[in-house]
Amino acid sequence: MSTENFIPIDTLCQHYKLEISFFNNLNENGLVDIELVDNVQYIHKDSIYEIEKIVRMHKELDVNIEGIDIVLNLLQKIDALQTELHNVRNRLLLYEN
């Protein structure tokens, strides 16, 4: 497996000044997917945006892993509701014209 689109967890730990156990806990709670290649743990580059949000919540707001999981689920529900509202407004505009 090519590791071209992956970032080693050690690099993320150094960058964010976090322990590797933090990322393992995120993986155990289903918040990130860790890939193991040649005994090195990696996270896909596409996950960086979510990791940035998670790290900010953890460090700046002192939210624990369980709290982060709840916040991310609520944010997903808000996004889904906003999308649904947008679609309903578009349908309403169609009938108003």
Whole-model pTM: value is 0.83
Q: For 38-75, how does the pLDDT look when each residue is reduced to its tens digit (9 = 90+)? A: 999 999 999 999 999 999 999 999 999 999 999 999 99
Chain segment 6-47, per-residue pLDDT in tens: 999 999 999 999 999 999 999 999 999 999 999 999 999 999
Residue 65: what pLDDT?
A: 95
Contacts of 37 (CB under 8 A, 6+ apart): 1, 3, 6
pLDDT over threshold 80, residue 97? no
Contacts for 63 with CB less than 8 Å, ≥ 6 apart? 57, 71
